[in-house]
Amino acid sequence: MVFLIYQLILILIILISPLIILYRILKNKEDSVRFREKFCFFSKSRKSGKLIWFHASSVGELMSILPIINYYENKKNINQILITSTTLSSAKILKKIKLKKTIHQFFPLDLIFFSRIFLNYWKPSMAIFVESEIWPSMYKFINKRKIPLILLNARITKKTFNRWYFFKKYSLSIFKNISASYPQNIETINYLKKLKVKIIKYIGNLKFIGNPYENKKEFEKTLKSRLKKHLIWVAASTHDNEEILCAEAHMILKRKFKNLITIIIPRHINRVDKIFSDLKKKNLNIALHSSGAKDLKNVDIYLVDEYGLSENFYKISKTVFLGGSLINRGGQNPLEPARYGARILSGKNTKNFVDIYKFLKSLGISMVVNNPIDIAKSIVFKSNKNGGEKIKILGNEILRKTTIEIDKVLNNAIKKA
């Protein structure tokens, strides 16, 4: 009954989907051509041979599996890699990375009809879903086709678990389709056990692994050249109102450091116009990254209005504030900037990354801030390379163990095929 209601809700969504899609296109949240992929009008072709399918909902999940993608890009027994996601931002980031075997499509609506079409077309040898991506219809038909299904870097919060467990019988029928699960924390292990997942093995959090597809060195060199006369710090993955708080911290620091530039990288680029307007009201001089301005002499705020550039700025900054933490959004992944030796600042709302922040605190490289004064007091202009090296060592070990586990499942599937 629950599954039937779920399908009926999706059918209703399809009926009003033209309005939803138009709204999302106008808000720059949807591709005006490629949205058709969500209805199984595919824009790429399936090659012959073995295909591995990864589904990563958004940017964070996508970034966490890039080292795994890189590993399978170099495996001769894999002919094609399919990545699906649901967000436009993740598609844009993937477009910037040069991949030989890997293609991207948007994940279809989770209707029985679309799940059948999708699997008939792509015929994956294995399906790997990342973190919290549980899709009842797709899971059901993956199992019917006897395709191994891995839940990688699995994350289930107390709130999510309670929601699933409210419909216990229905939920157990979904989670039984998972062949193997590799949770990212102890909390998730306990919830997966209660949901009767067959194989649960803890390896570690994929987010500890570094990005193998680093941005161009020429870009980094140009960036350093433009900012060499300035002291800088970065406010990344910021949400509504956090830019204002960071701007106020900048104004406090500017009294002491006249050559200070605050670099703001919003979580959602479609908010740039509003951010620009809000900061202008504080009489701050703002430079947009896309303007290519070379003279930054009188600039206060350097506003990044393109996706996929955060890593470049992390490399040259000694302090990074991560957004979604001064508001109740659960925070953002701090490992990438920490890997480059930056001090990490965040608000107290980091529930999505509790274990990671605990680890960083043990290294003495993360601090909790509550307001602009806290931020201003906590900013430093020298790095901590020791912490970054420890993260790198741990990440390499997690990558090694993860690929071994995936290979086991994949090789077993190939033998049975």
Does the domain spanning 217-391 belong to CATH 3.40.50.2000?
Answer: yes
Q: How far is CA 372 from the centre of its chain?
A: 27
> Which ranges in the chain are annotated with CATH 3.40.50.2000?
217-391
Distance CA 61, CA 64 (A): 5
321 SS3 class: strand
Contact indicator for 272, 206 with CB cutoff of 8 Å: no
CATH 3.40.50.11720 segments of the chain: 36-202
Strand partners, 344: 320, 366
Q: Is the pTM above the cut of 0.95? A: no
Return d(Cα 233, Cα 250) in angstroms, integer.
Answer: 9
* pLDDT the model gives residue 216: 58
Tens-level pLDDT at each residue, the chain (417 residues): 888 999 999 999 999 999 999 999 998 899 999 999 999 999 999 999 999 999 999 888 999 999 999 999 999 999 999 999 999 999 998 998 889 999 999 999 999 999 999 999 999 999 999 999 999 999 999 999 999 999 999 999 999 999 999 999 999 999 999 999 999 999 999 999 999 999 999 999 999 998 887 665 666 677 777 888 899 999 999 999 999 999 999 999 999 999 999 999 999 998 999 999 999 999 999 999 988 877 888 999 999 998 888 989 999 999 999 999 999 999 999 998 999 889 999 999 999 898 899 999 998 899 999 999 999 999 988 777 778 888 889 999 999 999 999 999 888 876 665
Report the candidate in 194, 195, 53 with the shortest Cα–Cα distance to residue 129: 53
Dist. CA 352–CA 356, nearest whole Å: 9
Give the strand pairing for 260-266 and 51-55.
unpaired
**Would you state the pLDDT for residue 212?**
82
CA nearest neighbour of 68 among 53, 57, 86? 53
Asked if CATH classification 3.20.20.140 holds for the domain at 36-202, the reply, yes or no, is: no
CA distance 326 to 191: 28
Tokens of 349: 């709302």
Q: Using CA atoms, how far apart are residues 188 and 156, in angstroms rounded to an integer?
A: 5
